Chains A and B, each alone.
Chain A
């Protein structure tokens, strides 16, 4: 069911993309326009989606359940928190908070070991990339 829905999505997505690409123009007086190449790619996406939909063999994805599902969702949630908070809190604080969330939800670490590991790993990454390699990591209102 999931794969069939995805195949329908490919068809619709490819068709919508082809319509948009057409609006960019196909061929003009100076030769091919901006829409030609994406139009061809979009048609291929739609066409492949149709072939996959007509196919008898369907993959039944082995999606996680129970603990596995929570761990996967925990990582996704952790990354969402990180991407949302980083512009406001900076790299160090956001990473520290995210690490604690991950270690508590995904690994079920104790509070003490989660805080210790989060501190050590965040400080190590910040030191290595921010200080030694000189990368400009986002800083919070407190300057780090």
Chain B
């Protein structure tokens, strides 16, 4: 307890400098903008701005990236409520009741409860993270390569367990992620794999090109396909502060959403999107009048918006204390840390307390920034919504090109980005979930290294994975989850999973 508080004080000492505060504010601002603008998700924004952070100090860069992530959760509700178009995936459920409230002239309280609920949940999430993450790291610090391997396997199985759609397609995407990561030099012996003599491929496939392609370009292609026109209900914003009746209806969903979101954020494959949907389902299930949902129930805004913000804090714990990303955004954050020469994992808190506690402290401050940015400045964000997508997308496209190119200063990466963009667009049409691909792509080098180190250190080959108790337990849980996953899918689809 005291150790965590001391660490937090260290974090505040690190973050309370003009430059770090500025980067936290800038990240919150960009995150809100990204959340507000449909068609630019937090993942694409993080990927675009990742090269910019190379010129910053590690703490400055990470604070900015993290604040973009949680900032997008705040901003996403604005578009959902006013336009009925989610600014990012975690705000899809906010459309159901938030937009109905706006249609009834209650856009102000809907925006207000979304921002206040986000603030409460975001802050509660960081408070729990403050005490929880070091405890997990303290246990995981005793882990060797076999335990790390089985932990990553469990993380990947959990990701598959949580994905929407076909499990088999998820497995296939994961294996493709492993194969794509295998391109380039072997991490252990430096031998070339899958390069076929290409100099461009010998350095491997660039993470930014993959992520920007799969999530940035594919999103643009989906959006230009329809170019939907929508009605902006911005003229009806009056009185952002919720009424007493609104508070009575919302405080329990906010607290429930905070708890549920945090737990689901922890689980690999969970994260803000799942948390928001689960919170909505929970609120509807326990409501006295479930038929009010979808017709402007404020609980349908308060719960999911709180859940998606709390999930951000939860999802940062596995990546910072174990080195296991729980969703594509945290996979990119893991990539950012590795590029900066930092290896997240059980030793991260002990070796780089300035970085870990700096990020935690920045989240307390960032949540305050975001409350100030989202409530008084909501009128400003509404003005951005007036920019038509047909004007916006070429600029986003240019940003994708700059973001991809700047990683290696290599035009070949633009072709990779385009290839993954088209592939992502087609695969989404065929209901393939792309999250397992990205998580597997980022984890593959670590997973392969752990597996090979485990086999080298074992006199009995793969038996080492069964003989060590923690490894055996983690793998047993993975096997049980896999069994349950396939049984569930087989039952629900009445055939093959």
Contacts and interface: CB of A to CB of B under 8 A. Distances in A.
A binds B: yes
Interface of A: 2-3, 6, 10, 14, 17, 20-21, 24, 30-32, 34-38, 40-42, 44-45, 48-49, 51-52, 54-57, 59, 61-64, 68-69, 71-72, 74-76, 78-80, 82-83, 86-87, 91, 95, 98-99, 102-103, 106-107, 109, 117-118, 121-122, 124-125, 129, 133-138
B179 A17 contact: yes
A83 B194 CA distance: 23
A35 B168 CA distance: 24
Give the size range of B's interface with the partner: 35 or more
B194 A117 contact: no
Interface stretch (B94-102, B287-295, B450-458): B450-458
Contacts of B497: 51
Nearest to A128: B402
B465 interface: no
Given A34-B193, A37-B182, A122-B398, A76 B452 contact: no
15 contacts: A24-B191, A37-B182, A42-B175, A55-B495, A56-B495, A64-B225, A72-B425, A79-B417, A83-B411, A83-B415, A86-B405, A125-B399, A125-B402, A129-B402, A138-B411
B460 interface: no
Contacts of A40: 178
Contact of B455 (A32, A91, A99): A32
A31 B194 contact: no
B206 interface: no
Contact of B452 (A31, A63, A86): A31
Nearest to B173: A48
Contacts of B401: 79, 82, 95
B493 A57 contact: yes
Tell me if B's interface is mostly helix, strand, loop or mixed.
helix
Nearest to A2: B430
Interface stretch (B59-67, B335-343, B389-397, B476-484): B389-397
B52 A133 contact: yes
Contacts of A36: 452
B394 A136 contact: no
Nearest to A37: B448
Interface string B44-56: 0000000110010
B230 interface: no
Contacts of B406: 129, 135-137
A111 to B, nearest CB: 15
Interface stretch (B20-28, B216-224, B260-268): B216-224
Given A102-B397, A107-B390, A129-B406, A83 B418 contact: yes
Given A56-B495, A135-B51, A136-B409, A78 B430 contact: no
Nearest to A51: B168
B135 interface: no
B186 A55 contact: no
A117 B387 CA distance: 13
A55 B496 contact: yes
B198 interface: no
Query: 9 closest Cβ contacts across the A-B interface?
Result: A48-B172, A44-B175, A41-B178, A83-B414, A61-B429, A31-B456, A107-B390, A38-B182, A68-B225
B178 A72 contact: no
Contact of A52 (B172, B217, B456): B172
Contact of A78 (B168, B175, B397): B397
B19 interface: no
Nearest to A125: B398
B17 interface: no
Nearest to B496: A55
B414 A82 contact: yes
A14 B425 CA distance: 21
A121 B309 CA distance: 33
A59 B402 CA distance: 35
Interface string B218-259: 001100111100000000000000000000000000000000
A71 B227 contact: yes
Contacts of B189: 34
A44 B182 contact: no
B418 A76 contact: yes
A21 to B, nearest CB: 8
B282 interface: no
Nearest to B391: A117
B422 interface: yes
B171 interface: yes
A102 to B, nearest CB: 5
Given A32-B455, A83-B411, A106-B224, A6 B402 contact: no
A68 B226 CA distance: 6
B411 A86 contact: yes
Contacts of B186: 34
Interface in B369-406: 390-391, 393-395, 397-399, 401-402, 405-406
B402 A3 contact: no
B421 interface: yes
A10 B169 CA distance: 11
B250 to A, nearest CB: 37
Contacts of B414: 79, 82-83, 86
A137 B405 contact: yes
A6 B430 contact: yes
A81 to B, nearest CB: 11
Interface in B191-223: 191, 193-194, 217, 220-221
A46 to B, nearest CB: 9
A54 B496 contact: yes
A72 B224 contact: yes
Given A37-B451, A48-B168, A99-B398, A75 B221 contact: yes
